[in-house]
Amino acid sequence: MTTYQSRRNIKKSLRLSVLDGGAFAAMLGLTQSYITPFALALKATTTQIGLLTSIPNITMALSQLAAPILAERAGSRKGLILPMVLMHALMWLPILLLPYIFPSSEVWWLIGFITLSAVFGSFANPAWGSMMADLVPEELRGRYFSFRGRIAGFITLVFSLIGGAILQLYTNNVFIGFTIIFGGALASRLLSLYFISGMYEPPLPHEGENIPGLFGLFKNLGTSNLGRFTLFFALIMFAQSISGPFFAVYMLRDLDFSYVTYMVVISASSISSLFFQPFWGRRADRAGNIKVIRITAVLLPIVPLLWLGNQSAFYLIGANIFSGFTWSGFNLAAVNFVYDASEPGSRTKQIAVFNSITGVAICLGSLAGGYLAPHLPEVLGFELRTLFTISGTLRGLIVVFLLHTIFEVRRVPKIDSIQLLLGRYGSTGKTAGKKNL
């Protein structure tokens, strides 16, 4: 195959990946903010809400480790991705039928089906990440993934609002509303499958002789730059997950928000993220991913603490705008740093290890939050506000003790944080880069 033809295939694949991201985002918009309300409609307890997040995440984390082996047996990364995406799509069928075919223990069935859905999706993730890292040039990853993320974020927002409107329309028979939005999620994921099937898969680089296996990667977590970042990111997600699953519970149960009000508050974060992703993408390409991570990580502890200030929907919209600003930069830079710091020949393995450890951390955080929530004293009138305080405090401690141990892997200009934030792209300075340790 000629170089020219390869470039054409890559450009086509990057366009198809944007379309895939849009279709996946439609599914996400119809589901991510409505699984917890669906569980609450099924009379789920606070503990079950915690399990609804934790059990899928622990199984997803463990199943990620099988992805490199399955990709090897499938003969290619796409050979694994396509059947897993198909199964991921089909799992929405029993979920949407759940209120009609399971007259009892509906919440436990929901946990089971969401867990299976997470497993199928997780099998595809490391292979997809490895393939995309090969398709997108290193120096353009921030801009490309922020562009892709911005489109996906807009579509997620639109379909989240559509989902909220459908539920509000069917307030008197809410399960019909859930059936419609989960049916839309099924169709969207099948469309995503169609776009992925047309993408070009670059040849997998040869795995270096010195690259350890999965066990070796786990063993070396504390000694490599990527390993230390994996531990830092996982602990941040642990702290986030202590409170993350319960913001919906706080709004719908404790504050008695309507579905429309709930969706408006949730959408504020999506809109903010949509607006700021290109902002962070340009700066990550210019000054490096770690620079963006350091700026945003300092802000992360503030995010849950803002929810202590006021119960007004308008105030919480402002809190979520700040959340979207912070998390959009942190998550974008974190994913791109993993792509930068991993070895091309074993990237599927390294992404699998990163995702599995992160998934275990999310699971443990959700379990801790679900256990603690009913047993905590009230802060400003609500037990969940105590949970938000714990989450913010833990984030701060993790940032203080671990953030300084991680270094940039690309050679990038040395740019002051204020210049980076206030400048259009950041200003140039002395080149300072540190190699992967």
Q: Is 414 helix (H, G, I), strand (E, B) or coil?
A: coil
> How far does Cα 218 stand from its chain's mean position?
22
Q: How far apart, in Å, do the first and last CA atoms of the chain sit?
A: 36
Taking a C-beta distance cutoff of 8 angstroms, is the pair 287, 267 a contact?
A: no
Using alpha carbons, list the distances in angstroms from residue 60 to 54, 121, 368.
10, 8, 18
Q: How far apart are CA 432 and CA 411, in angstroms?
A: 6
Helices (H) and strands (E) in the chain, counts: 19, 2
Q: What is the pLDDT of residue 436?
A: 31
| pLDDT for 54 | 77
**Residue 381 is encoded by which pair of tokens?**
């009138």
Residue 108 CA: distances (Å) to CA of 8, 51, 192: 48, 9, 28
User: Which H/E stretch holds residue 431?
Assistant: strand 431-432
Q: What would the DSSP string read from start to end of 117-132?
A: HHHHHHHHHHHHHHHH
Q: Check if the beta carbon of residue 94 is closer than 8 Å to that of residue 113.
A: yes
Q: How far apart, in whole angstroms, are the C-alpha atoms of residue 118 and residue 111?
A: 10
Nearest to 30 by CA among 139, 172, 146, 187: 187
Give me the helix-helix angle, 383-402 and 347-372, nearest 10°. 140
Query: What is the model's pLDDT at position 428?
Result: 40
49, 372 contact by CB (below 8 A): no
Predicted pLDDT at 216: 67
The pLDDT score that the predictor gives to residue 434 is: 36
What is the per-residue pLDDT for 249? 87
Q: Rounded to an integer, what distance in angstroms lies between the CA atom of residue 75 and that of residue 59?
A: 24
Residue 382's DSSP bridge partners are 379
Task: Give residue 367's pLDDT.
Answer: 83
Q: Crossing angle for the helix pair 347-372 and 67-74, nearest 10 degrees?
A: 140
Question: Model pTM?
Answer: 0.75
Superfamily classification of domain 8-199+214-432:
MFS general substrate transporter like domains (1.20.1250.20)
pLDDT of residue 138: 81
Q: What type of residue sits at position 218? A: F
Structural contact between residues 236 and 395, judged by C-beta atoms closer than 8 angstroms: yes
Q: What is the pLDDT of residue 433?
A: 37
Give the position of tokens 């992360």: 300
Q: Residue type at 194?
A: Y
Per residue of the chain (437 residues), give pLDDT as tens. 446 667 888 899 999 999 999 999 999 999 988 998 899 888 888 788 878 877 887 888 788 788 778 877 887 889 899 999 999 999 999 999 998 887 778 899 999 999 999 889 888 888 898 899 889 888 788 889 889 988 998 898 899 889 988 988 988 888 999 999 999 999 999 999 999 999 998 887 655 555 666 666 777 788 889 999 999 999 999 999 999 888 988 998 889 998 789 888 988 998 898 889 889 998 998 899 999 999 999 999 999 999 998 899 999 999 999 999 999 999 999 999 998 988 877 788 888 889 889 988 988 898 898 888 888 887 767 888 999 999 999 999 999 999 999 999 988 888 888 888 887 654 444 333 333 32
pLDDT recorded at residue 215 = 67
Cβ proximity of 266 and 33 under 8 Å: yes
Q: C-alpha dihedral over 292, 295, 298, 301, to 10 degrees?
A: -60
The Cα 326–Cα 144 span in angstroms is: 19
- Say what the alpha-carbon torsion angle 10, 13, 18, 23 is, to the nearest 10 degrees: -170
DSSP string, 6-57: HHHHHHHHHHHHHHHHHHHHHHHHHHTTTHHHHHHHTT--HHHHHHHHHHHH
